[in-house]
Every structure is written in C-alpha cells, then in structure tokens.
Amino acid sequence: MIDRSHFERVRDRVYSILFLFPAALGRLGLLDRDRGEEAFDLALPVMVTGTVRTILRTADFFMVSLALPAAAVAGLEFAFQYFFVGFGLALALSSGTISVVSRLKGAGDHDRANFAIKQSVWLSVLISVPLIAVAQVYAAPLIDLLTNDPAAIEQGAIYLRIVTYALLFRFLSMIAARALQGSGDTRTPMYVNLLTVPTNIALNAVLIFGLGPFPELGIAGAAWGTAISETLSGLIFLYLLLADGHGVRLRLGGKQWDTGLASELVRVAAPLAGSRLVGTFGRFPFLFVLATLGTPVVAAFAIGRRVIMLAMMPAWGYSTASSTLVGQALGAGDEQAAARYGWDTTTIALVTQLLIAAVMAAFARQIAVVFTADTVALTTGFIRVFALTVAAFSVARSMRGALRGAGDTTWPLYGKVAGLAARLGIVALALPVGTTFTLVGLSVAPGLGLGITAVYAAILVDFYIQAGVNVARFRTGKWKAIAARSGAGQAPSDD
C-alpha cells in the first residue's frame, strides 16, 4: 500500500532544500527574501513544466537525428518555424488571459475572471481553425520558401501537416494553464505536463523507430506523437476548467461574449502576438542565410538552440510569476509592491539562469557529441554562443512578464522589432560577397563573406537589445498608468 504521508514528507523536504536558494539571495541582500520566495514558489512549477517540454523538443531532435539524415533535422527546424506561428498566437492570447485574470482575481472579481477564460476560448477557435486549414493545403510550398533541399522540404512538410491537427488543443492547453497561473495555481499545469510530456516522448520513440508492434514512421512518427499528446493535454485542461475547485472555472452556458472584456484581452495580446510573429517570421530570412551556409549549419543551429533552451527555460517560470504577482498587486491597488515584485523576480531569474548556462557552456562539446557525430564543432559553437545570450534572455523575459502583468505589452514588441532588425542586418554580412537581392526594384548586395562569425554576432546583439528596451521601459514606471486606464482588475473603491 502506498504511504501518501511518506511522499508528502519527501516533497516537503525537497521544497525546503530548494527554497534555500531564494533565502540565500535574500541574505546576500540581492532581493527581499519574502518576495523572492513568493516568486520562486510560483515559478518553480512553471520551470518544471517548461523544462519537461524543452526536453521533449530536444528529444524530438535527438531521435530524428539518430533515425534520419541531417536533412530531416533541418526539415524539422523549418516546420517548427511555421508551427511557431500558431504557437506564438496561442502564447500571446494566453498571455492576455493571465494578465486579465490575475488583475481581476487581485480585485476580487472572480466571476469576471472566469468569463475572461470563456472569451479566450472563443478567440482561440477563431484563430486556430484557419491556421490548421492553411497548413494542410500549403505545407510543402511554405517549407519550399526556406530551402531548396528537396529532402528537407519533404520531411518538413510531412511534420507540419500532421502536427497542426492538434493546434486548437494546444490553444486550449495554454489558455487553461495561464488562467490557472493567473489565479495563483502554477502546480496543476505542472502535473498535467508531467503526465502528457513523457507520454509524448514515449509515443515519439515508438513511432519514429517502430518499436514493438508500432510501424516505423520516421519524422511522421514525431508529428503523430506530438499531435496525440497535445490533444490529450487539451482535453485534460478542458476537464479541469469545467470542474470546480481550481480557483477558476469555465462555464459553457449563459452569456457567451463581452466586447469590453474581449477588447482588453486583444489589447494585451495584440502586441505580444506581434512580437511572436515578428520573431517567427524574422527567423525565416535568418534560416535562409543559414541554409546558404549549408544544411549542416542549420542542423547545428537547431540542436544548439534546443540544448540551451534548458538554461533559458527558468525565464518562462519567472516571467509567469512576475505577471501573476505584478498583476495581483496592481489589482489590489499596491503599485509599489508591483514594482518591487518586478525587480526581485528579475534578480532571482538572472542568478538562476546564469548558473545553469555556465555549466552548459563548460560542457558544450560533450553535449554536442551526444546529438551528432557530423557537426560537433558547429554545434559546440552554437551552444556556447547561446549560453552568452542567457543573461539577456533572462532579463528580457522577466521584465516582459512584469510589464505583461500590468497590461503594458507594446514596448516589448518595440524591443523585439529593434533586436530583429539588428539580427537580420548583421547576419546578412554572413552571405558570400556578391550575393544580390532585389527588393521593390532596388538591388542590394549585403554579403561580406563573414560566415558563421556574423551569425554568432547577430544572435548576441538581438537578445541584448531586447533586454535593454524592457528594462528601460519598466524603470519609467509608465506601466502603472496603463494598468490603471485599462479598468480590468482595479481594486474596488471604498466609497
């Protein structure tokens, strides 16, 4: 018989050890201990969730790289860029959800917080269904825009068609998770992902390699494993929202639409959607340049990026914690507490991620060897360059979370655009001398033949510009006025 109390004691012991980290930072005077522990408590489950999902994406690339040639890895990376269009819109909409729900919960308006979830669900249907249709019809032509490698086009199109079947369920999962997190419950989404992500990895393994009675599907197996698991995740989250006892609830009956609330969701989500789309579409010309340097460069970039995401992943946890804490403080009418939560959460995020990045940079070559025997040097280089971006990524994400909690999402978009412009301008220098493009009748030849050096520089500059813009915006304090003007989640008057 399972001794439940034993597991609870072990869990409590693990938590007490982990919480020595924010306590130590408090003793060093880097942050307020209570606020640091509160942020860490909210961030930890999201970090676990993000880490297991990153392990999933890394496992995808690892298994595909074992089973298939480099063209399949490159095709997987190209397909991901289009899937990220839908993912980015889902992330933006769910970010609007956490912003609005956290402010309404902070103000004690629980019914309106629940209704915000219903608005998010309807918006997710309107966005995801057309994207699914486009992917089914135009998968191959879309991949063809990024590469002239026939094998990469074929593999990428197969993956894209299949994985987008589950896009609506991905939207539902993210909205539900952010709604729960906005109410202060970051553990339930973690538990769901601890169930569905290992299921995804197992399905991918048996379907990619054809283990046991299952057919060997190659890259299609990776897509089907992901689509099935995303559908399972969406159904579980939908059940949790319909059930009671989780802080928020989706009610299917009654009123279906509130233009004012939907407008606030869109107002918060639109710049975030713009930021995600800028980043996603900006990767297309970036990947085009990498492709001109060779398919092995694309494969090395893809693997290096996935590996270092393990160091970057805590930023999602702290960003979520910052959104929740800043939003709830503003909903309760305490602007000073909101500002302190923003700064302290950013501090603990930065220290956490620098420690992880240092280890990954030190063992970059050993990590690269696990994934590939063909592009070890290239992959090692990308891992180390991405490790140098971790500090900027941490600050940019945590500050963006704080601004998002206040409903101020425009300036992170500006930072994204500025960073992308710098990235593309610098990476163009990697092209061979004499490479010419014609845009609106104007021919330009940006290439200086700098090769991989320009690629590395472009990545670094992009991330640090984004961090600088977000920090500068938060320092102005103008996000407080934006939160006040929105009217969502304002503390009730004493009059």
**Per-residue pLDDT tens over the stretch 409-447:** 889 889 999 999 999 999 999 988 877 776 666 777 777
d(CA 177, CA 53): 14
- Per residue in 277-307, pLDDT (tens digit) is 777 777 778 888 888 888 888 888 888 887 8
489 pLDDT tier (thresholds 50, 70, 90): very low
Contact 159, 223 (CB under 8 A): yes
Spatial CA neighbour of 85 closest among 291, 274, 313:
274
- Per residue in 189-212, pLDDT (tens digit) is 888 888 888 888 899 889 988 888
Sign of CA dihedral 482, 35, 401, 177: negative
Alpha helix stretches (DSSP H) within 243-334? 259-293, 295-312, 314-331
Question: Average pLDDT of 235-245?
Answer: 84
pLDDT at residue 274, as a whole number = 77
375 pLDDT tier (thresholds 50, 70, 90): confident
Q: What is the DSSP letter of 375?
A: S
d(CA 335, CA 113): 21
Residue 45 has pLDDT above 60, yes or no: yes
Residue 276 has pLDDT above 80, yes or no: no
pLDDT at residue 47, as a whole number = 81
pTM of this prediction? 0.70
